[in-house]
Structure 1
């Protein structure tokens, strides 16, 4: 038996999937310096700006105050995971909140360093391109950890995290008591 509850608003889902697609397109298919690569990067930076604003004025689960990772919450969550407990959370878990912050920081650093490569001041500077590539690779690593964790928690935990990011509704699995 399953119960459903609204958890992610349309703006959060649009941000998540469009930025994920944009980052993957830029990382895998477009070439640095191409117009399409730059425009996708500008889109991601603009989407980040909207998401940061939404993190202060949006609904509860979208607000940074709801999931900003704090040391006591992280310690408690890690202790629960070490004991094999995967508890239901109203939004992001403490580790999930930390991952959101790390991914957003990574995307921001990729975007800003990419933009710097187009400015007159840093045009053709190898170190700026190296910084851009470093943050792109680091962000890809974070994405891979994120996807692995979401997959694992979707299989072992009380909610299918991929499905809820697609539908905006939490679909919690309940055990039948027979």
Structure 2
């Protein structure tokens, strides 16, 4: 599907949530769940700074949707996120049967930035969402948001040094 102005609006909110996470000392990721009619149902940001590396917003969306939405509602929903799902989050998305995923920046982009900044690789391989959940509808990256997301990650790693 082509990226729409509505998609851009929701992705901008994801980037705002990622900035909130960074301001709170966390990793800069944010996500929004939108139902089939376009209403925002749930949003969150990374909360891994306490040591629980499963506290990704996409994983929280999957858990929330499983508890609060029917299978048909989940299938009609869209998950927007500042960065492409990691394999854990992609699997959670697939297991609960959520619909379309739209991301601002890809895992490949993030991995490229991290190599450029000499940041050690994460302990989990970065895989495209469709390698984990074949058949899911995925759109992204969105070039107009890449510089802003890159800046958030650059600030994250500048703090760590």
TM over 0.5: no
- Normalising by structure 1, report the TM-score: 0.25
More helix by share: 1
Task: Select the structure of larger CA radius of gyration.
Answer: 1
Q: Which has the higher contact order (CA 8 A, sep 6+)?
A: 1
- Normalising by structure 2, report the TM-score: 0.27
